[in-house]
Structure 1
Amino acid sequence: MKNKSVVQRTSMIKIRDGYSHATGIIHFSVDYQLEEFDDRTRRLLNNILYEVLELVFSEKVMSYKYDNPFFDNGRNEFCKNLLSEVFLQRTNLKHGYSYTWEPVYEMINEVIEKAPYNEVLDILWYILDWIYANMYTSQFDIYSIFNSFFEKEFVGYRFVEKRIIAITDKNEISSIEDACNSKYDGINSHMQKAVGFLADRDKKDYKNSIKESISAVESVCQIITNNGKATLGQALKVIKSKGMDIHPALEKAFSSLYGYTSDQGGIRHCEGMFESNVSFEEAKFMLVSCSAFINFLIAENEKEASNI
Protein backbone atom coordinates (compact mmCIF):
# COMPACT_ATOMS: atom_id res chain seq x y z
CA MET A 1 0.00 0.00 0.00
CA LYS A 2 1.45 3.34 -1.02
CA ASN A 3 1.78 6.12 1.53
CA LYS A 4 -0.28 9.13 0.77
CA SER A 5 1.89 12.15 0.07
CA VAL A 6 1.83 14.91 2.70
CA VAL A 7 0.53 18.17 1.35
CA GLN A 8 2.98 20.98 1.95
CA ARG A 9 1.12 24.11 2.95
CA THR A 10 2.36 27.65 3.32
CA SER A 11 2.37 29.15 6.82
CA MET A 12 -0.25 31.89 7.03
CA ILE A 13 -0.25 33.00 10.69
CA LYS A 14 2.19 33.38 13.56
CA ILE A 15 0.93 33.53 17.15
CA ARG A 16 3.41 33.96 19.99
CA ASP A 17 2.81 31.37 22.76
CA GLY A 18 0.31 29.53 20.56
CA TYR A 19 0.31 25.77 19.90
CA SER A 20 2.94 25.90 17.17
CA HIS A 21 5.22 28.02 19.29
CA ALA A 22 4.72 25.95 22.46
CA THR A 23 5.47 22.67 20.65
CA GLY A 24 8.49 24.04 18.81
CA ILE A 25 6.99 23.70 15.34
CA ILE A 26 7.74 27.39 14.76
CA HIS A 27 10.21 29.54 16.61
CA PHE A 28 10.22 33.12 17.79
CA SER A 29 13.39 35.01 18.52
CA VAL A 30 14.06 35.35 22.25
CA ASP A 31 16.63 38.06 21.63
CA TYR A 32 15.47 41.60 22.24
CA GLN A 33 14.80 43.57 19.08
CA LEU A 34 17.08 46.58 19.25
CA GLU A 35 18.38 47.64 15.85
CA GLU A 36 15.67 46.05 13.72
CA PHE A 37 12.03 45.16 14.21
CA ASP A 38 10.55 42.15 12.45
CA ASP A 39 7.52 42.35 10.18
CA ARG A 40 5.17 40.90 12.78
CA THR A 41 6.18 43.52 15.36
CA ARG A 42 5.79 46.37 12.87
CA ARG A 43 2.32 45.29 11.79
CA LEU A 44 1.09 44.76 15.34
CA LEU A 45 2.49 48.13 16.34
CA ASN A 46 0.66 49.72 13.44
CA ASN A 47 -2.62 48.11 14.48
CA ILE A 48 -2.28 49.17 18.12
CA LEU A 49 -1.32 52.72 17.25
CA TYR A 50 -4.28 53.07 14.92
CA GLU A 51 -6.67 51.83 17.63
CA VAL A 52 -5.17 54.24 20.18
CA LEU A 53 -5.53 57.21 17.83
CA GLU A 54 -9.10 56.28 16.97
CA LEU A 55 -9.92 56.11 20.69
CA VAL A 56 -8.11 59.36 21.51
CA PHE A 57 -9.97 61.28 18.81
CA SER A 58 -13.35 59.67 19.48
CA GLU A 59 -16.13 61.67 21.05
CA LYS A 60 -16.05 59.43 24.11
CA VAL A 61 -12.48 60.32 25.04
CA MET A 62 -11.61 63.51 23.18
CA SER A 63 -10.86 66.42 25.50
CA TYR A 64 -8.39 69.26 24.93
CA LYS A 65 -6.00 70.48 27.60
CA TYR A 66 -6.19 74.14 26.67
CA ASP A 67 -8.31 76.68 24.81
CA ASN A 68 -6.79 77.74 21.51
CA PRO A 69 -8.74 79.57 18.78
CA PHE A 70 -6.54 77.87 16.18
CA PHE A 71 -7.14 74.40 17.64
CA ASP A 72 -10.01 73.35 15.38
CA ASN A 73 -10.36 69.71 16.40
CA GLY A 74 -7.95 67.14 17.74
CA ARG A 75 -7.64 64.95 14.67
CA ASN A 76 -7.21 67.88 12.28
CA GLU A 77 -4.65 69.61 14.50
CA PHE A 78 -2.74 66.36 14.89
CA CYS A 79 -2.61 65.89 11.11
CA LYS A 80 -1.41 69.45 10.60
CA ASN A 81 1.34 69.16 13.24
CA LEU A 82 2.45 65.76 11.99
CA LEU A 83 2.68 66.89 8.37
CA SER A 84 4.55 70.06 9.33
CA GLU A 85 6.88 68.87 12.10
CA VAL A 86 7.56 65.25 11.12
CA PHE A 87 7.11 65.01 7.36
CA LEU A 88 8.17 68.63 6.74
CA GLN A 89 5.32 69.39 4.36
CA ARG A 90 3.55 72.68 3.76
CA THR A 91 0.35 73.00 5.74
CA ASN A 92 -1.16 76.22 4.34
CA LEU A 93 -4.66 74.80 4.13
CA LYS A 94 -7.47 77.25 3.40
CA HIS A 95 -9.77 78.25 6.24
CA GLY A 96 -12.71 75.90 6.63
CA TYR A 97 -10.94 72.90 5.11
CA SER A 98 -9.74 69.87 7.04
CA TYR A 99 -7.01 67.31 6.47
CA THR A 100 -8.12 63.89 5.28
CA TRP A 101 -7.26 61.32 7.93
CA GLU A 102 -6.71 58.22 5.76
CA PRO A 103 -3.78 59.46 3.63
CA VAL A 104 -2.10 60.99 6.69
CA TYR A 105 -2.29 57.72 8.58
CA GLU A 106 -1.02 55.91 5.49
CA MET A 107 2.15 58.01 5.82
CA ILE A 108 2.48 56.87 9.45
CA ASN A 109 1.87 53.31 8.29
CA GLU A 110 4.68 53.58 5.73
CA VAL A 111 7.15 54.70 8.40
CA ILE A 112 6.21 51.96 10.86
CA GLU A 113 6.33 49.17 8.29
CA LYS A 114 9.32 50.26 6.18
CA ALA A 115 11.53 52.83 7.94
CA PRO A 116 14.65 52.06 10.04
CA TYR A 117 13.92 51.10 13.64
CA ASN A 118 15.04 54.49 15.01
CA GLU A 119 12.52 56.34 12.83
CA VAL A 120 9.78 53.98 13.98
CA LEU A 121 10.64 54.94 17.56
CA ASP A 122 10.86 58.62 16.58
CA ILE A 123 7.37 58.78 15.13
CA LEU A 124 5.89 56.73 17.98
CA TRP A 125 7.52 59.06 20.53
CA TYR A 126 6.26 62.14 18.66
CA ILE A 127 2.69 60.86 18.48
CA LEU A 128 2.45 59.87 22.15
CA ASP A 129 4.14 63.10 23.22
CA TRP A 130 1.63 65.08 21.13
CA ILE A 131 -1.30 63.22 22.68
CA TYR A 132 0.06 63.75 26.20
CA ALA A 133 0.65 67.47 25.57
CA ASN A 134 -2.68 68.23 23.91
CA MET A 135 -5.32 65.75 25.00
CA TYR A 136 -6.80 64.47 28.24
CA THR A 137 -6.70 60.67 28.20
CA SER A 138 -7.42 59.83 31.82
CA GLN A 139 -9.34 56.73 30.77
CA PHE A 140 -6.13 54.91 29.83
CA ASP A 141 -2.35 55.20 30.04
CA ILE A 142 -0.99 55.45 26.50
CA TYR A 143 2.58 54.76 27.59
CA SER A 144 1.66 51.57 29.45
CA ILE A 145 -0.13 50.28 26.36
CA PHE A 146 3.04 50.43 24.29
CA ASN A 147 5.31 49.26 27.11
CA SER A 148 3.16 46.14 27.41
CA PHE A 149 3.41 45.65 23.66
CA PHE A 150 7.20 46.10 23.72
CA GLU A 151 7.48 43.52 26.50
CA LYS A 152 5.33 40.96 24.71
CA GLU A 153 7.19 41.33 21.42
CA PHE A 154 10.70 41.34 22.95
CA VAL A 155 11.34 44.91 21.87
CA GLY A 156 14.30 46.22 23.86
CA TYR A 157 12.85 49.66 24.53
CA ARG A 158 10.48 51.16 27.06
CA PHE A 159 8.84 54.48 27.79
CA VAL A 160 10.31 55.76 31.06
CA GLU A 161 9.20 59.21 32.18
CA LYS A 162 7.59 59.60 28.74
CA ARG A 163 10.88 59.02 26.91
CA ILE A 164 12.04 55.96 25.00
CA ILE A 165 15.07 54.24 26.52
CA ALA A 166 16.87 51.05 25.54
CA ILE A 167 16.37 49.16 28.80
CA THR A 168 15.54 45.51 28.55
CA ASP A 169 14.63 44.43 32.06
CA LYS A 170 11.37 45.25 33.88
CA ASN A 171 13.16 45.37 37.25
CA GLU A 172 15.53 48.01 35.89
CA ILE A 173 12.61 50.07 34.65
CA SER A 174 10.77 49.78 37.95
CA SER A 175 13.88 50.88 39.84
CA ILE A 176 14.41 53.93 37.63
CA GLU A 177 10.76 54.97 37.82
CA ASP A 178 10.79 54.71 41.62
CA ALA A 179 13.92 56.88 41.83
CA CYS A 180 12.40 59.44 39.41
CA ASN A 181 9.28 59.72 41.54
CA SER A 182 10.58 59.74 45.10
CA LYS A 183 9.25 62.11 47.74
CA TYR A 184 12.31 64.38 47.23
CA ASP A 185 12.18 66.91 44.40
CA GLY A 186 15.96 67.31 44.21
CA ILE A 187 16.51 63.60 43.63
CA ASN A 188 13.68 63.46 41.09
CA SER A 189 15.15 66.39 39.16
CA HIS A 190 18.59 64.78 38.84
CA MET A 191 17.14 61.40 37.88
CA GLN A 192 14.78 62.84 35.30
CA LYS A 193 17.66 64.78 33.77
CA ALA A 194 19.74 61.59 33.69
CA VAL A 195 16.93 59.85 31.82
CA GLY A 196 16.60 62.82 29.49
CA PHE A 197 20.29 62.92 28.57
CA LEU A 198 20.26 59.19 27.90
CA ALA A 199 17.12 59.32 25.75
CA ASP A 200 17.51 62.62 23.90
CA ARG A 201 16.44 62.00 20.30
CA ASP A 202 18.70 64.59 18.71
CA LYS A 203 21.86 64.41 20.81
CA LYS A 204 22.35 61.70 23.37
CA ASP A 205 24.61 62.94 26.17
CA TYR A 206 25.92 59.94 28.09
CA LYS A 207 28.48 61.95 30.04
CA ASN A 208 25.90 64.29 31.53
CA SER A 209 23.54 61.39 32.14
CA ILE A 210 26.16 59.85 34.42
CA LYS A 211 26.77 63.21 36.10
CA GLU A 212 23.10 63.52 36.94
CA SER A 213 22.84 59.90 38.11
CA ILE A 214 25.66 60.28 40.61
CA SER A 215 24.39 63.75 41.62
CA ALA A 216 21.06 62.13 42.48
CA VAL A 217 22.87 59.71 44.80
CA GLU A 218 24.69 62.61 46.44
CA SER A 219 21.38 64.40 46.81
CA VAL A 220 19.82 61.58 48.81
CA CYS A 221 22.96 61.33 50.93
CA GLN A 222 22.81 65.06 51.68
CA ILE A 223 19.17 64.74 52.67
CA ILE A 224 19.86 61.81 54.98
CA THR A 225 22.89 63.48 56.60
CA ASN A 226 21.28 66.93 56.67
CA ASN A 227 24.45 68.32 55.12
CA GLY A 228 24.02 70.14 51.83
CA LYS A 229 27.74 69.92 51.03
CA ALA A 230 28.33 66.26 51.80
CA THR A 231 29.98 64.18 49.10
CA LEU A 232 29.03 60.58 48.55
CA GLY A 233 32.08 59.32 50.42
CA GLN A 234 31.43 61.57 53.42
CA ALA A 235 27.75 60.74 53.42
CA LEU A 236 28.37 57.00 53.43
CA LYS A 237 30.46 57.33 56.59
CA VAL A 238 27.79 59.40 58.34
CA ILE A 239 25.05 57.02 57.24
CA LYS A 240 26.90 54.03 58.66
CA SER A 241 27.57 55.90 61.91
CA LYS A 242 23.82 56.38 62.29
CA GLY A 243 23.39 52.63 62.31
CA MET A 244 22.14 52.19 58.76
CA ASP A 245 22.99 48.70 57.56
CA ILE A 246 25.17 48.94 54.44
CA HIS A 247 27.23 45.88 53.56
CA PRO A 248 30.96 46.71 53.28
CA ALA A 249 31.08 45.29 49.76
CA LEU A 250 28.19 47.54 48.68
CA GLU A 251 29.81 50.56 50.30
CA LYS A 252 33.08 49.81 48.54
CA ALA A 253 31.33 49.31 45.20
CA PHE A 254 29.65 52.70 45.29
CA SER A 255 32.74 54.44 46.56
CA SER A 256 34.58 52.98 43.57
CA LEU A 257 31.85 54.16 41.21
CA TYR A 258 32.09 57.64 42.66
CA GLY A 259 35.85 57.56 42.16
CA TYR A 260 35.31 56.55 38.54
CA THR A 261 33.26 59.69 37.97
CA SER A 262 35.58 62.05 39.86
CA ASP A 263 39.21 61.22 39.06
CA GLN A 264 41.31 63.15 36.54
CA GLY A 265 39.98 61.32 33.49
CA GLY A 266 36.55 60.83 35.01
CA ILE A 267 33.13 61.97 34.01
CA ARG A 268 32.89 64.94 36.36
CA HIS A 269 36.41 66.27 35.91
CA CYS A 270 37.03 69.57 34.15
CA GLU A 271 35.71 69.93 30.63
CA GLY A 272 38.29 69.67 27.88
CA MET A 273 41.40 67.60 27.53
CA PHE A 274 40.47 64.99 30.12
CA GLU A 275 36.89 64.63 29.01
CA SER A 276 36.05 60.94 28.84
CA ASN A 277 34.42 59.10 26.00
CA VAL A 278 31.37 57.48 27.53
CA SER A 279 29.36 54.66 26.00
CA PHE A 280 25.65 54.01 26.23
CA GLU A 281 26.38 50.87 28.25
CA GLU A 282 28.27 52.89 30.89
CA ALA A 283 25.54 55.50 31.15
CA LYS A 284 22.79 52.89 31.37
CA PHE A 285 24.71 50.97 34.02
CA MET A 286 25.13 54.10 36.13
CA LEU A 287 21.47 55.06 35.72
CA VAL A 288 20.25 51.64 36.82
CA SER A 289 22.84 51.25 39.59
CA CYS A 290 22.25 54.73 41.03
CA SER A 291 18.48 54.22 40.89
CA ALA A 292 18.81 51.02 42.89
CA PHE A 293 21.14 52.64 45.42
CA ILE A 294 18.85 55.65 45.85
CA ASN A 295 15.85 53.43 46.48
CA PHE A 296 17.89 51.37 48.93
CA LEU A 297 19.09 54.43 50.89
CA ILE A 298 15.60 55.96 51.07
CA ALA A 299 14.12 52.66 52.27
CA GLU A 300 16.87 52.16 54.88
CA ASN A 301 16.54 55.75 56.11
CA GLU A 302 12.78 55.40 56.52
CA LYS A 303 13.33 52.13 58.35
CA GLU A 304 15.73 53.81 60.76
CA ALA A 305 13.37 56.76 61.26
CA SER A 306 10.50 54.43 62.14
CA ASN A 307 12.63 52.82 64.87
CA ILE A 308 13.28 56.09 66.64
Structure 2
Amino acid sequence: MERRFSERHGLVPVRTVVQIESMDDALRTQLWNVTYAYFFEPEYAVSPGFTEFYAIWTALMGRDWDQFPGGGVDREIKNWIKKREWYEVYDLLEELVRVGKRLSLGMVDVFNNVLEMYKAGYRLLNEQVVPIADSPELSEIEGALAAGSKPVAHHLETALNLLADREKPDYPNSIKESISAVEAFLVPITGKNTLGAALGQLKKTDNFAHPALLDAWSKLYGWTSDENGIRHGGVAVPTERITQVLARYMLISCSAFINLMTAEQAAGRLSS
Protein backbone atom coordinates (compact mmCIF):
# COMPACT_ATOMS: atom_id res chain seq x y z
CA MET A 1 0.00 0.00 0.00
CA GLU A 2 1.39 3.41 -0.98
CA ARG A 3 1.99 5.98 1.69
CA ARG A 4 -0.50 8.83 2.02
CA PHE A 5 0.37 12.38 0.99
CA SER A 6 0.79 13.45 4.62
CA GLU A 7 3.18 10.58 5.24
CA ARG A 8 5.21 11.22 2.08
CA HIS A 9 5.67 14.88 2.90
CA GLY A 10 6.14 14.44 6.64
CA LEU A 11 3.20 16.65 7.52
CA VAL A 12 2.44 16.62 11.24
CA PRO A 13 -1.10 16.93 12.62
CA VAL A 14 -1.34 20.22 14.49
CA ARG A 15 -2.28 18.67 17.80
CA THR A 16 0.76 16.45 17.89
CA VAL A 17 3.02 19.51 17.80
CA VAL A 18 1.79 20.59 21.22
CA GLN A 19 0.39 17.71 23.24
CA ILE A 20 -2.31 19.37 25.34
CA GLU A 21 -4.95 16.67 25.70
CA SER A 22 -2.83 13.66 24.90
CA MET A 23 0.46 11.99 25.66
CA ASP A 24 2.21 9.89 23.05
CA ASP A 25 4.28 6.80 23.76
CA ALA A 26 7.59 8.62 23.28
CA LEU A 27 6.75 11.17 25.97
CA ARG A 28 5.50 8.47 28.35
CA THR A 29 8.71 6.49 27.85
CA GLN A 30 10.95 9.43 28.67
CA LEU A 31 8.91 10.39 31.74
CA TRP A 32 9.31 6.83 32.97
CA ASN A 33 13.05 6.88 32.22
CA VAL A 34 13.52 9.97 34.37
CA THR A 35 11.37 8.47 37.12
CA TYR A 36 13.35 5.24 37.07
CA ALA A 37 16.70 7.03 37.10
CA TYR A 38 15.81 9.16 40.11
CA PHE A 39 13.84 6.68 42.20
CA PHE A 40 14.68 3.12 41.29
CA GLU A 41 18.21 2.95 39.89
CA PRO A 42 20.63 3.04 42.83
CA GLU A 43 23.65 3.39 40.57
CA TYR A 44 22.45 6.77 39.33
CA ALA A 45 20.07 8.08 41.97
CA VAL A 46 19.08 8.13 45.61
CA SER A 47 16.44 5.42 46.01
CA PRO A 48 13.83 6.36 48.62
CA GLY A 49 12.30 4.03 51.15
CA PHE A 50 9.05 2.54 50.01
CA THR A 51 7.20 4.62 52.60
CA GLU A 52 7.70 7.62 50.31
CA PHE A 53 5.20 6.02 47.92
CA TYR A 54 2.46 5.18 50.43
CA ALA A 55 0.58 8.41 49.70
CA ILE A 56 0.79 7.79 45.95
CA TRP A 57 -0.35 4.21 46.41
CA THR A 58 -3.33 4.98 48.67
CA ALA A 59 -4.44 8.52 47.75
CA LEU A 60 -3.64 8.81 44.03
CA MET A 61 -3.97 5.19 42.94
CA GLY A 62 -6.78 4.40 45.37
CA ARG A 63 -5.25 1.10 46.47
CA ASP A 64 -5.45 -0.71 49.80
CA TRP A 65 -2.54 0.01 52.12
CA ASP A 66 -2.16 -3.64 53.06
CA GLN A 67 -1.66 -4.50 49.38
CA PHE A 68 1.30 -2.17 48.92
CA PRO A 69 3.62 -4.13 46.60
CA GLY A 70 6.93 -3.48 48.31
CA GLY A 71 9.61 -4.37 45.78
CA GLY A 72 7.14 -4.18 42.89
CA VAL A 73 6.29 -0.52 43.30
CA ASP A 74 8.46 0.38 40.30
CA ARG A 75 6.31 -1.84 38.05
CA GLU A 76 3.15 -0.16 39.34
CA ILE A 77 4.56 3.31 38.71
CA LYS A 78 5.70 2.28 35.23
CA ASN A 79 2.30 0.82 34.36
CA TRP A 80 0.64 4.04 35.52
CA ILE A 81 2.86 6.18 33.30
CA LYS A 82 2.58 3.87 30.32
CA LYS A 83 -1.12 2.98 30.39
CA ARG A 84 -3.23 5.49 32.29
CA GLU A 85 -4.97 8.54 30.82
CA TRP A 86 -2.66 11.45 30.01
CA TYR A 87 -4.07 13.60 32.81
CA GLU A 88 -3.56 10.81 35.34
CA VAL A 89 0.10 10.68 34.36
CA TYR A 90 0.37 14.38 35.15
CA ASP A 91 -1.33 13.74 38.52
CA LEU A 92 1.41 11.21 39.24
CA LEU A 93 4.11 13.58 37.99
CA GLU A 94 3.06 16.17 40.56
CA GLU A 95 3.25 13.58 43.34
CA LEU A 96 6.65 12.36 42.19
CA VAL A 97 7.99 15.91 42.22
CA ARG A 98 6.72 16.40 45.77
CA VAL A 99 8.42 13.19 46.86
CA GLY A 100 11.56 14.24 45.02
CA LYS A 101 11.58 17.62 46.74
CA ARG A 102 11.40 15.98 50.18
CA LEU A 103 14.35 13.82 49.17
CA SER A 104 16.24 16.77 47.62
CA LEU A 105 16.48 14.99 44.25
CA GLY A 106 16.18 18.15 42.13
CA MET A 107 14.38 16.52 39.21
CA VAL A 108 12.04 19.33 38.11
CA ASP A 109 14.38 20.72 35.46
CA VAL A 110 14.95 17.24 34.03
CA PHE A 111 11.22 16.56 33.79
CA ASN A 112 10.66 19.99 32.24
CA ASN A 113 13.38 19.36 29.66
CA VAL A 114 11.59 16.16 28.64
CA LEU A 115 8.23 17.96 28.47
CA GLU A 116 9.76 20.63 26.24
CA MET A 117 11.62 18.19 23.98
CA TYR A 118 8.50 16.12 23.36
CA LYS A 119 6.27 19.15 22.78
CA ALA A 120 4.05 18.73 25.83
CA GLY A 121 1.70 21.64 26.41
CA TYR A 122 2.53 21.65 30.12
CA ARG A 123 5.41 22.40 32.47
CA LEU A 124 6.11 21.87 36.16
CA LEU A 125 5.96 25.02 38.28
CA ASN A 126 5.81 25.11 42.08
CA GLU A 127 5.15 21.37 42.22
CA GLN A 128 2.18 21.71 39.87
CA VAL A 129 1.68 20.91 36.21
CA VAL A 130 0.59 24.13 34.49
CA PRO A 131 -0.55 24.61 30.86
CA ILE A 132 1.51 26.62 28.40
CA ALA A 133 -0.87 26.14 25.42
CA ASP A 134 -4.56 25.46 24.97
CA SER A 135 -7.05 24.24 22.37
CA PRO A 136 -8.15 27.69 21.13
CA GLU A 137 -4.54 28.53 20.25
CA LEU A 138 -4.13 25.37 18.22
CA SER A 139 -7.52 25.95 16.59
CA GLU A 140 -6.11 29.16 15.11
CA ILE A 141 -3.48 27.11 13.27
CA GLU A 142 -6.04 24.60 12.04
CA GLY A 143 -8.32 27.41 10.87
CA ALA A 144 -5.55 29.17 8.95
CA LEU A 145 -4.49 25.91 7.30
CA ALA A 146 -8.06 25.27 6.17
CA ALA A 147 -8.83 28.82 5.02
CA GLY A 148 -5.59 29.78 3.29
CA SER A 149 -4.52 29.30 -0.32
CA LYS A 150 -2.02 26.61 -1.28
CA PRO A 151 0.98 28.95 -0.79
CA VAL A 152 -0.32 30.01 2.63
CA ALA A 153 -0.91 26.41 3.67
CA HIS A 154 2.54 25.43 2.37
CA HIS A 155 4.28 28.01 4.56
CA LEU A 156 2.22 27.11 7.63
CA GLU A 157 2.83 23.40 7.13
CA THR A 158 6.56 24.03 6.77
CA ALA A 159 6.59 26.17 9.92
CA LEU A 160 4.73 23.41 11.71
CA ASN A 161 7.14 20.71 10.60
CA LEU A 162 10.22 22.74 11.52
CA LEU A 163 8.75 23.34 14.95
CA ALA A 164 7.67 19.72 15.43
CA ASP A 165 10.95 18.05 14.47
CA ARG A 166 12.13 16.37 17.67
CA GLU A 167 15.59 15.53 16.39
CA LYS A 168 16.57 18.83 14.77
CA PRO A 169 13.93 21.52 15.38
CA ASP A 170 14.61 24.71 13.43
CA TYR A 171 12.94 27.55 15.29
CA PRO A 172 14.36 30.52 13.32
CA ASN A 173 13.22 29.05 10.00
CA SER A 174 9.86 28.11 11.52
CA ILE A 175 9.37 31.80 12.34
CA LYS A 176 10.41 32.75 8.80
CA GLU A 177 7.79 30.42 7.36
CA SER A 178 5.07 31.72 9.70
CA ILE A 179 5.71 35.30 8.58
CA SER A 180 5.90 34.14 4.95
CA ALA A 181 2.41 32.64 5.33
CA VAL A 182 1.04 36.08 6.22
CA GLU A 183 2.93 37.57 3.28
CA ALA A 184 1.55 34.91 0.93
CA PHE A 185 -1.95 35.78 2.09
CA LEU A 186 -1.75 39.59 1.78
CA VAL A 187 0.51 40.22 -1.22
CA PRO A 188 -1.97 38.90 -3.84
CA ILE A 189 -4.77 40.96 -2.26
CA THR A 190 -2.85 44.24 -2.23
CA GLY A 191 -0.75 43.74 -5.36
CA LYS A 192 2.42 44.57 -3.42
CA ASN A 193 5.47 42.34 -3.50
CA THR A 194 6.41 42.31 0.21
CA LEU A 195 4.50 42.03 3.45
CA GLY A 196 5.73 45.43 4.59
CA ALA A 197 4.39 47.10 1.46
CA ALA A 198 1.13 45.13 1.68
CA LEU A 199 0.55 46.29 5.25
CA GLY A 200 1.30 49.86 4.22
CA GLN A 201 -1.18 49.60 1.37
CA LEU A 202 -3.91 48.32 3.69
CA LYS A 203 -3.34 51.20 6.07
CA LYS A 204 -4.05 53.68 3.26
CA THR A 205 -7.56 52.32 2.76
CA ASP A 206 -10.64 53.29 4.76
CA ASN A 207 -12.06 49.77 4.80
CA PHE A 208 -9.84 48.17 7.41
CA ALA A 209 -10.83 49.37 10.86
CA HIS A 210 -7.70 48.44 12.78
CA PRO A 211 -4.79 50.68 11.66
CA ALA A 212 -3.02 50.33 15.04
CA LEU A 213 -2.96 46.58 14.52
CA LEU A 214 -1.35 47.07 11.12
CA ASP A 215 1.28 49.29 12.77
CA ALA A 216 2.02 46.53 15.25
CA TRP A 217 2.38 43.99 12.46
CA SER A 218 4.64 46.34 10.52
CA LYS A 219 6.97 46.46 13.54
CA LEU A 220 6.84 42.70 13.87
CA TYR A 221 7.66 42.34 10.18
CA GLY A 222 10.54 44.78 10.63
CA TRP A 223 11.88 42.69 13.52
CA THR A 224 12.04 39.61 11.29
CA SER A 225 13.00 41.23 8.00
CA ASP A 226 15.56 43.99 8.44
CA GLU A 227 19.13 43.32 7.36
CA ASN A 228 19.99 41.75 10.72
CA GLY A 229 16.62 40.12 11.30
CA ILE A 230 15.51 36.52 11.49
CA ARG A 231 14.45 36.23 7.85
CA HIS A 232 17.85 37.36 6.62
CA GLY A 233 19.88 35.22 8.99
CA GLY A 234 21.36 38.24 10.71
CA VAL A 235 23.01 38.48 14.10
CA ALA A 236 20.68 40.96 15.78
CA VAL A 237 18.68 38.11 17.28
CA PRO A 238 21.03 35.44 18.72
CA THR A 239 20.06 31.93 17.70
CA GLU A 240 19.91 30.75 21.30
CA ARG A 241 17.15 33.28 21.97
CA ILE A 242 14.95 31.87 19.21
CA THR A 243 13.27 29.26 21.37
CA GLN A 244 10.51 26.72 20.91
CA VAL A 245 8.17 28.98 22.87
CA LEU A 246 8.87 31.95 20.58
CA ALA A 247 8.47 29.88 17.41
CA ARG A 248 5.18 28.47 18.64
CA TYR A 249 3.98 31.95 19.58
CA MET A 250 4.77 33.22 16.10
CA LEU A 251 3.03 30.30 14.41
CA ILE A 252 -0.11 30.84 16.49
CA SER A 253 -0.01 34.63 16.09
CA CYS A 254 0.48 34.50 12.33
CA SER A 255 -2.30 31.94 12.01
CA ALA A 256 -4.64 34.13 14.07
CA PHE A 257 -3.78 37.14 11.89
CA ILE A 258 -4.56 35.16 8.74
CA ASN A 259 -7.89 34.11 10.27
CA LEU A 260 -8.67 37.75 11.07
CA MET A 261 -7.79 38.80 7.53
CA THR A 262 -9.94 35.99 6.14
CA ALA A 263 -12.92 37.23 8.14
CA GLU A 264 -12.28 40.82 7.03
CA GLN A 265 -12.05 39.68 3.42
CA ALA A 266 -15.33 37.80 3.70
CA ALA A 267 -16.98 40.93 5.10
CA GLY A 268 -15.68 43.02 2.21
CA ARG A 269 -13.37 45.12 4.39
CA LEU A 270 -10.08 43.78 3.08
CA SER A 271 -9.03 45.18 -0.28
CA SER A 272 -6.45 47.49 -1.72
> How does the TM-score come out when normalised to structure 1?
0.46
CA RMSD in angstroms comes to: 3.7
Q: State the AA in 2 paired with 1:44.
A: R
Report the counterpart of residue 180 of structure 1 in structure 2: 145
Contact 1:197/1:208 (<8 A) preserved: yes
How many residues align? The count is: 167
Q: Is the 8 A contact 2:203 2:214 kept in 1?
A: no
Contact 1:206/1:280, CA 8 A, preserved across alignment: yes
Cα distance in 1 for residues equivalent to 2:199 and 2:158: 24
- 3-state secondary structure, aligned to 1:243: coil
Aligned residue in 2 for 1:215 = 180
- What is the aligned partner in structure 1 of residue 261 from structure 2? 297
Tell me the SS of whatever aligns to 1:168: coil
Shift of 1:183: 4.1
2:270 & 2:211 partners in 1: Cα distance?
24
**Compared with structure 1, are the counterparts of its residues 244 and 44 closer, same or farther at alpha carbon in structure 2 (3 Å cutoff)?**
farther
When residues 183 and 206 of structure 1 are mapped into structure 2, their CA distance, relative to the original with a 3 A threshold, is closer
Aligned to 2:43: none
- Structure with more contact order per residue of length (Cα contacts < 8 Å, sep ≥ 6): 2
Matched, 1:249 2:212: yes
Question: How do 1:105-144 residues align onto structure 2 when only pairs under 5 Å count?
Answer: 117=114
- Pair 1:121–1:270, CA change in 2 (3 A): closer
**Structure 2 counterpart SS, 1:289:** helix
Q: Identify which of 75, 78, 84 aligns with 1:44.
A: 84
Kindly indicate whether the alpha-carbon contact (under 8 Å) linking 2:152 and 2:181 is maintained by their aligned counterparts in 1. Answer: yes
Structure 2 counterpart SS, 1:252: helix
Moved more, 235-244 or 205-214: 235-244
1:285 to 233, 240, 249: 249
| Structure 1: 5+ residue stretches without partners | 1-7, 16-36, 47-115, 123-154, 158-165
Check 1:12–1:279 CA distance in 2 against 1; reply closer, same or farther (3 A cut). Answer: closer
Structure 1 or 2: larger helix share?
2
Q: TM-score, normalised by structure 2?
A: 0.52
Task: Determine helix, strand or coil for the equivalent of 2:167.
Answer: coil
**Residues 167 and 173 in structure 1, CA contact (< 8 A), matched pair in contact too:** no
Partner of 2:49: none
Instruction: Supply the AA of the counterpart residue of 1:202.
Output: E
One-letter amino acid of the counterpart of residue 11, structure 1: T
Structure 1 letter corresponding to 2:238: S
Partner of 1:11: 58
Sequence identity, in percent? 39
Cα distance in 2, alignment partners of residues 177 and 218 from structure 1 = 18
State the Cα distance separating 1:40 from its structure 2 match.
4.5
Gapped regions of structure 2 (runs ≥ 5): 1-53, 63-76, 87-112, 123-130
CA contact (8 A) 1:198 1:209 kept: yes
Out of 221, 229, 232, the residue aligned to residue 266 of structure 1 is 229
